[in-house]
Structure 1
Amino acid sequence: MRRLRNDLPYTFRPPRPRAWFRPIGLMANRYYLQKKFAVTKLDDSGFDRVRELSRAGHAVLLAPNHADHSDPHVMTELVARHGMKSHFMAAREVFEISKLGSFALESMGVFSVDRDGPDLSAIKTAITLLESSSDPLVIYPEGEIYHHHERLDPLHEGVASILLKAAARLKDGKEAYLVPVGIRFLHDPLVEETFRDRLSRLEDRIGWTPRPALPIDERIVRLGTGLLGLKEMEHTGEAGRGQIQDRLATLCDALLTIAEARHGRDPKSATAPERVRAQRYRIRKRLLDAEKPPTFVERDELLDDLDRVFTALQAHSYIGDYFLAEQTLDRRAETIMKLEEDLLGFPNYPSPRTARVTAGEPIPVSSMLAAGELPAKGGAGQLTGLLEERLSALLG
């Protein structure tokens, strides 16, 4: 999970598909998949039904799980493989890396969203695209990248809310469909040969003497527990005790409680990701207050609070029993990648991977609304629950 200390004003970036750029964008996308993310094979199933719905002129929203940085590249390639174009909602931060990158994203039909606040421009754009186009719209309902492909994090209701609003505006027989998409990554067995050296680098990064003679699983647990202890010492002054999952939850709640004591708690925010988004919104709103700019001292305190809520989200993103429950090759690889991102800034992809992508049975939202199975108002929670159930089944 990348650290975001974003205190820049937000500018919405709309989609600006350019036909001449599309072949260039698809070639670049394939290059990134293979060279940067080591995805050398792409297996898919279920997308014939998506293509049928798209060609029939219906509104199709694809909702994949989001566990890897290559997910958007995987989805772009798959949609193109089946003869379709796509639109994506993407975090504002990816547009702010470079002007050239922003131009390329917009040219491929990607538009920005500020995940920490009510981004009305992004919501209106998504609804308009569903209403006016039959090209699939891709939105990741988890919102963040967590690096655990076999577990789904709680979904945000924004995806369901957008599709329900779009469905109410569709005419002339056009119907709305929500398609759960499960993405899994399978690692080549050769990746196991990289574990010892990569763990040594991580141990050295925090000042430990590398222990290559220890069993891999023991080193992973040892390193993860050590990092947790360091974070606990940094923010609370003492290392916790007990089960890893309990310590992670305690640290997450403690950090959010500190920030909420300063900036107020949103009573509607129940889960840790919701509390994090609420705090980031309030902190950044104060940082960007043009009428009463924060003092230098207050600004430093606000930036420290951003770091606290980031660490809270980091703690939440580690599922304590995910690796401990089943030490498979893929879970080892995922956990090491996650540790690399948190310690080194970005994960390594040292060996080939296969992306296995399954489009589940489309959820007929328009038909469900017409039959009274979904309420026109207040149905986002119910639809999100159904999506979460279908996605979890796809991940198996």
Structure 2
Amino acid sequence: MRRLRNDLPYAFRPPKPRAWFRPLGLLANRLYLQRKYAVNRLDDSGFDRVKELSRAGHAVLLAPNHADHSDPHVVTELIARHDMKSHFMAAREVFEVSKLGAFALESMGVYSVDRDGPDLSAIKTSITLLEKSSDPLVIYPEGEIYHHHERLDPLHEGVASILLKAAARMNGGKEAFLVPVGIRFHHDAAVEATFRDRLSRLEDRIGWTPRPALSIDERIVRLGTGLLGLKEMEHTGENGRGRIQDRLTSLCDALLSAAEGRHGRDPKSVTAPERVRAQRYRIRKRLLDAEKPPTAVERDELLDDLDRVFTALQAHSYIGDYFLAEQTLDRRAETIMKLEEDLLGFPNYPTPRTARVTAGEPIPVSKMLAAGELFAKGGATPLTALLEARLAALLA
């Protein structure tokens, strides 16, 4: 999860698949997986069924969990492994890194979405792709990267809503299927030898004297609690008390409530991620107001509010009992990676990892609509609940 201080106007980037570019894109994707993200092994199951549905001309929407920066590269590689092409919905920010990167993404069938507002272009593109194409469409229903592979964050209903709308427009025997995809990463045992030095760097980053003599687990908890205390002091003026999870929740709510007091609250936004998106939308709308531009002082305050909202999402993204409940090698590695991203800007991948990806049983959305098990209007909530249950089971 990276800091988003985005005050740039948004322009939709459509998919522009280029056949000549695909071999280059797949090669670059494979190199990224191995050299940047240290994913040296990729095991999969269930994708034969996805291929069967795609070859039969049906609409297939793949909905993976999203806990690692390499997830899109993993799924791209798997789809190519099974001799399929694909389309991806990706956050606008990845298109804004560089012009060359944006060109490469478009050429591989990726299109942008503004996660903070009603991006009608992205929604219409998704529906059209499902209606007209049988290549799998990949959308991540969690929306953000949280670095905990064994826990699922609440899903957005946008994925279900898009597929229901597309299903209502299909004819000629074409059916819509929603496929949960569980992605788990497993670290090589050699990663344990990297923990002490990486934790020392993180301790030094916040001004602490590194304590390599302490146990790894004690250092992780100590560092996480210390970072939480720093954020509490920065934003509330005092350290919280009680359980870590309660303190995280309180900090998140305090920051969002403060922003909502200045910019208004969307009554439909209930969960922390929904409230964050609503505030980012309102803040950016004011920042980009061409008719009545904000003053220099107001602009600085708006940008500060974007930082506060980002910190709220950071607090929400830490599950207080995730590491405390079970200190496995993978959970240690994931927690340290998350701390690295928050303190250093990007996580490290110092040793090989294995990605295990399972495509679950496809949910026959068209058949469920025809049988009255789902309804075109109001069906997004139960369909999202079903997807969430299926995804959670794949990660267990």
The one-letter amino acid paired with 2:306 is L
Per the alignment, in what secondary structure is the counterpart of residue 327 of structure 1? coil
- Cα shift at 1:259: 0.1
The one-letter amino acid paired with 2:116 is D
Distance 2:103 2:278 in 1: 30
- Where in structure 2 are the equivalents of 1:368-379 lying within 5 Å? 368-379=368-379
Deviations 1:224-277 (A, max 9, x none): 000000000000000000000000000000000000000000000000000000
- Is 1:248 the equivalent of 2:222? no
Per the alignment, in what secondary structure is the counterpart of residue 149 of structure 2? coil
Which residue of 1 is the match for residue 272 of structure 2?
272
TM-score by length of 2: 1.00
Deviations 1:75-115 (A, max 9, x none): 00000000000000000000000000000000000000000
- Is 1:157 the equivalent of 2:157? yes
Per the alignment, in what secondary structure is the counterpart of residue 149 of structure 1? coil
TM-score by length of 1: 1.00
Which residue of 2 is the match for residue 286 of structure 1?
286
- Is 1:103 the equivalent of 2:110? no
- Is 1:311 the equivalent of 2:311? yes
- Cα shift at 1:375: 1.1
Which residue of 1 is the match for residue 116 of structure 2?
116
Distance 1:150 1:124 in 2: 33
Distance 1:300 1:117 in 2: 22
The one-letter amino acid paired with 1:178 is L
- Where in structure 2 are the equivalents of 1:97-246 lying within 5 Å? 97-246=97-246
Structure 1, unmatched stretches of 5+, are: none
The one-letter amino acid paired with 1:390 is R
- Cα shift at 1:370: 0.0
The one-letter amino acid paired with 2:85 is K
Distance 2:328 2:40 in 1: 21
Which residue of 1 is the match for residue 364 of structure 2?
364
Per the alignment, in what secondary structure is the counterpart of residue 234 of structure 2? helix
- Cα shift at 1:292: 0.2
The one-letter amino acid paired with 2:115 is R
The one-letter amino acid paired with 2:145 is I
- Cα shift at 1:318: 0.1
Deviations 1:303-352 (A, max 9, x none): 00000000000000000000000000000000000000000000000000
Which residue of 2 is the match for residue 346 of structure 1?
346
Distance 2:319 2:373 in 1: 34
What do you get for the CA RMSD once the two structures are aligned? 0.2
- Is 1:45 the equivalent of 2:45? yes
The one-letter amino acid paired with 1:348 is N
Deviations 1:32-75 (A, max 9, x none): 00000000000000000000000000000000000000000000
Distance 2:243 2:51 in 1: 47
Distance 2:214 2:307 in 1: 33
Distance 2:142 2:213 in 1: 38
Deviations 1:169-200 (A, max 9, x none): 00100000000000000000000000000000
How many matched pairs?
396
Distance 2:55 2:323 in 1: 42
Runs of 4+ off more than 6 Å? none
Percent sequence identity over matched residues?
Answer: 89
The one-letter amino acid paired with 2:98 is S
Per the alignment, in what secondary structure is the counterpart of residue 200 of structure 1? helix
- Cα shift at 1:376: 1.5
Per the alignment, in what secondary structure is the counterpart of residue 153 of structure 1? coil
- Is 1:380 the equivalent of 2:368? no
The one-letter amino acid paired with 2:16 is R
The one-letter amino acid paired with 1:244 is I
